[in-house]
Amino acid sequence: MRDNYRENLESVVADLVGMSEAVQVAVRQATQALLEADLSLAEAVISGDSAIDKMHDELEARCFSLLARQAPVAGELRTVVAALRMVADLARMGDLAAHVAKIARLRFPERAVPEGLVPNFTLMARVAEEMVATAGRSLRERNAHDAGRLADSDEEMDELRKSQFRVILGQDWPYTVEAAVDVALLGRYYERIADHAVIMAARVIYVITGLLPEGENWPVA
């Protein structure tokens, strides 16, 4: 019976990794919809968010079942508790990707990102997608070192966000107030995806070591 329990626990972890891969695809497709004004792709991301939410609900229920029926201890308990938190982070990342797609849909047939900020958003989206991928891979491989690198990636994201504000608030901003609002919102969405990836990485480190990383670059709430 205990072997079956461990198999169920590993199945939860495997499905968390699968959920992270689905989120990674959602971020990539939302970015493509945003930068290419692709309405059909934006709609696909928005409708696909319900599938990510379904993954959340099913994984959460399985975690609660493991807690209630098996009374896990030590490392197993850490894994179940961390999984409950990680599945919430992943669901929120999926929601944020859908928010990006909704702005792309709102501004169609125009592109929501002004031409001068396309390089910034291209890089910001790449960083966010890579962070989601690293968080999922570090969980699959139980790799605390890779998870630990995400704090540095988050600093890169913060710098990209700051550069956006410098452009928006500059006296030579050539676009509309509406465009400035879109940029501010979109930048926030990508920044929050990165934040949730960092939080997920902190949970991975907790599963492996039993300790949460400390420092201002490691939000764990």
Inside any domain, residue 72: yes
CB distance 96 to 193 below 8 Å: yes
Average the pLDDT over 177-204 and give the result. 95
Average the pLDDT over 35-43 and give the result. 96
Residue 75 has pLDDT above 80, yes or no: no
Inside any domain, residue 65: yes
Inside any domain, residue 218: no
The CATH number that applies at residue 140 is 1.20.58.220
Residue 3 has pLDDT above 90, yes or no: no
Q: What is the mean pLDDT of the chain?
A: 90
Inside any domain, residue 121: yes
Residue 220 has pLDDT above 60, yes or no: no
> Based on the structure, what is the number of domains in the chain?
1
Inside any domain, residue 48: yes
Closest CA to 31 of 98, 117, 106: 98
Which residues form the domain of 189? 2-209
CB distance 93 to 27 below 8 Å: yes
24-37, pLDDT tens digit by residue?
999 999 999 999 99
Closest CA to 64 of 93, 86, 84: 84
Inside any domain, residue 181: yes
Inside any domain, residue 95: yes
What pLDDT shows up at residue 215?
57
CA 187 to chain centre: 14
Exposure letters 50-77 (e unless 16+ CB within 10 A, then b): eebeebbeebbebbeebeeebebeeebe
What pLDDT shows up at residue 152?
84
pLDDT band at 77 (very low <50, low <70, confident <90, very high): confident
What pLDDT shows up at residue 221?
47
What pLDDT shows up at residue 26?
97
What pLDDT shows up at residue 212?
73
Inside any domain, residue 22: yes
| End-to-end Cα spacing for the chain | 34
